[in-house]
Amino acid sequence: MIESLQSFQNIFKIPELKRRVLMSVLILVAYRLGAHVPTPGIDGHALSQFFDQVQGTLLGMVDLFSGGNLRRLSIFALGIMPYISASIILQLLTVVIPTLERLAKEGEAGRKKITQYTRYGTIALSMVQSLGIAYGLESMRSPTGLSIVPTPGWGFRLLTMVTLTAGTALIMWMGEQISEKGIGNGISLIIFAGIVVRLPSALTASYTLISTGELKLFVVIAIMAVIVAVTAAVVLMQEGQRKIPVQYAKRVVGRRVYGGQSTHIPLRINTAGVIPVIFASSLILFPATLTRFVPHPWMQGIADAMSPGRLFYTVTYMALIVFFAYFYTAIVFNPIDLADNMKKYGGFIPGVRPGKKTAEYIDRTLTRITLPGALFLALISVLPDYLIRWFNVPFYFGGTSLLIVVGVALDTVRQMESHLLMRNYEGFLKKSKGRSAGYGGGS
């Protein structure tokens, strides 16, 4: 405990890291303040009653990812999901369209251009989604019969489009500022903040139910034990590695001898981290949100089929997580470049020829270890939801939110760890110096 406190104090001894942490905290605080600014033209009390009725359904999950903003229909009601959806579309199009593929290979200039296209796509998706929400809200009523939109019409629809789109653009800017000037992945941290901020109220409500006898204590203890076990499993899988040994041949340059040492390539079991869960959630929630707000029988049937706990939703969600685990791993990890760099500096894997054979060996190994990691993410994302549904726990803290909270926390701590180690300060994670001594290709 004392060592952990000492490591935490080390953060404030490095001016750059201190500035980055404070920048991230300030932006997240501003995000939470904006979450309480309501969209004009809405009866907030009627809307709150409506969301109490749909808690535990797909809209409840959408509200979870928006940090409760959809329940209040604040200016941040759409959350960051349109930006994530636009990023997914651009990354998929990069594989298909040669022009985008060339841009992706142009380095920093190409990345900036793709980021610009992603911003345009975010605005377009936000406008479509906000218009669908505005149409749906006009036809909705609370359980007591109150109209959610007292004065419907094109004035309300256009105002909602402008407000929600501007809110998403502001969140997008906040996320980019955290990534560039703060610590951690900005988009992931915004989702993380939206989930964590709801925990105190959920725990308070559960304590009240225990006090009144509506919720049995042993059920809560069992659920908490499951949450602790899942958290430990997530940490284990996030930190798990497959170490491929690498030997560097001796080279004589002038009077100096280089190489000759042994190291390893740390291939992470879950290279993509928590990104597949976020991508899969975004892709499945975007069309489902529109179907929920469109008052048509067959659209409502689609929305019911895509509700958490239904077989179609579970199968689709798990398949998307596995797909994005492989897809994102292929984007962030290039075995060919790694093999070429090893060959350039005289490195080789014992028993494997340098160059193409090495790239194929690394790719084959990465493909094999990614499968259990992807299946683990998929199972953890849906299993606690079913357990919570069976035990009728009155708050939503399922596998998806748990994976995001633990995964984002680990990634953020890992980034702070790297800053501390560069300045010779002791970090948070044990044996981190030993891990950082290996080849950095797995990060």
* Predicted pLDDT at 169: 92
* Predicted pLDDT at 66: 60
Whether the per-residue pLDDT at 395 is higher than 60: the answer is no
Instruction: Give the mean model confidence (pLDDT) for residues 393-405.
Output: 65
Whether the per-residue pLDDT at 116 is higher than 50: the answer is yes
If pLDDT is split at 50, 70 and 90, which confidence band does 296 have?
low
* Predicted pLDDT at 165: 92
Whether the per-residue pLDDT at 396 is higher than 50: the answer is no
* Predicted pLDDT at 441: 39
Average pLDDT of the chain to the nearest whole number: 77
Asked if 90 contacts 178 with a C-beta cutoff of 8 angstroms, the reply is: no
3-state secondary structure (DSSP) of residue 257: strand
DSSP symbols for 50-93: HHHHTTTSHHHHHHHHTTTHHHHTBTTTTTTHHHHHHHHHHHHH
Whether the per-residue pLDDT at 7 is higher than 70: the answer is no
pLDDT in tens, 208-244: 777 777 777 777 787 778 778 878 888 888 788 888 8
* Predicted pLDDT at 437: 40
If pLDDT is split at 50, 70 and 90, which confidence band does 3 have?
very low
* Predicted pLDDT at 173: 92
The whole-angstrom separation of Cα 69 and Cα 38 is 9
Asked if 382 contacts 314 with a C-beta cutoff of 8 angstroms, the reply is: yes
If pLDDT is split at 50, 70 and 90, which confidence band does 432 have?
very low
* Predicted pLDDT at 440: 39
pTM of the model: 0.73
Asked if 149 contacts 42 with a C-beta cutoff of 8 angstroms, the reply is: yes
* Predicted pLDDT at 26: 92
* Predicted pLDDT at 57: 52
Whether the per-residue pLDDT at 146 is higher than 90: the answer is no
Nearest to 349 by CA among 241, 240, 249: 249
* Predicted pLDDT at 166: 92
Instruction: Give the mean model confidence (pLDDT) for residues 345-372.
Output: 86
* Predicted pLDDT at 123: 93
Task: Give the homologous superfamily in CATH for domain 15-183.
Answer: SecY subunit domain (1.10.3370.10)
Q: Tell me, what amino acid is at 389?
A: R
Polymer length in residues for the chain: 443
pLDDT in tens, 168-212: 999 999 998 998 888 888 888 888 888 888 777 777 777 777 777
Q: Do domains 15-183 and 198-443 have the same CATH topology?
A: yes
Whether the per-residue pLDDT at 420 is higher than 80: the answer is no
3-state secondary structure 160-177: HHHHHHHHHHHHHHHHHH
Instruction: Give the mean model confidence (pLDDT) for residues 59-85.
Output: 72
Domain 198-443 has CATH 1.10.3370.10: yes
* 242-246, 370-374, 375-379, 414-418: range with lowest mean pLDDT: 414-418
Position with higher pLDDT, 7 vs 147: 147
If pLDDT is split at 50, 70 and 90, which confidence band does 284 have?
confident
Percent of the chain with pLDDT over 90: 5
Q: Tell me, what amino acid is at 21?
A: V
Instruction: Give the mean model confidence (pLDDT) for residues 74-82.
Output: 82
The whole-angstrom separation of Cα 360 and Cα 388 is 43
Instruction: Give the mean model confidence (pLDDT) for residues 236-257.
Output: 75
DSSP symbols for 205-242: HHHHHHHHTSS-HHHHHHHHHHHHHHHHHHHHHHH-EE
If pLDDT is split at 50, 70 and 90, which confidence band does 120 have?
very high
Whether the per-residue pLDDT at 5 is higher than 60: the answer is no
* Predicted pLDDT at 107: 73
* Predicted pLDDT at 200: 77
Domain ranges (residues) in the chain: 15-183, 198-443
* Predicted pLDDT at 431: 47
Radius of gyration (C-alpha) of the chain in whole angstroms: 24
* 151-155, 224-228, 303-307, 329-333: range with lowest mean pLDDT: 303-307
If pLDDT is split at 50, 70 and 90, which confidence band does 399 have?
low
Going across the sheet that includes 262-268, the strands are: 262-268, 241-248, 347-348
